Amino acid sequence: MTDLTRRRFMTLAAVATAAAPLALRSAPAQAQAAQLPKLSPTDTAAKALSYTEDASTVKNPAHKPGSDCGNCNFYKGAAGSAYGPCQLFPKNSVASKGWCSAWAKKA
């Protein structure tokens, strides 16, 4: 004979475990960005991609006038926000007026 209570608990536990990552992904990007620390230009990954918080000061030859995080394909922050999440730096938020060498025009 099977214990239906135990079987039901195990099923619910498995479903909850599988659903947890989906629930985190469905949270609004703005709420997630508020929880992310700002990316420091001295961070190893930031240095590797020549990240700066102010695109107007960039001296990198790859920089094109008018390009900044706010109009980059990797930037996922809300329009008009000062900082937002970036797919390249998933543990940090970046300045919308910033720039890095991986900049790609938003489609």
| Neighbour-count burial for 16-31, b at 16+ CB within 10 Å, e otherwise | eeeeeeeeeeeeeeee
CA angle 75, 49, 28 (to 5 degrees): 20
Structural domains in the chain (count): 1
| 94 and 65 Cβ atoms separated by less than 8 Å | no
For residue 48, give its domain range: 28-95
Calculate the average pLDDT of the chain: 85
Q: Residue 10's pLDDT is what?
A: 76
CATH number of the domain residue 80 falls in:
4.10.490.10
User: Does any domain span residue 57?
Assistant: yes
Residues 31-65 have pLDDT tens digits of 555 589 999 999 999 999 999 999 999 999 999 99
| 107 and 73 Cβ atoms separated by less than 8 Å | yes
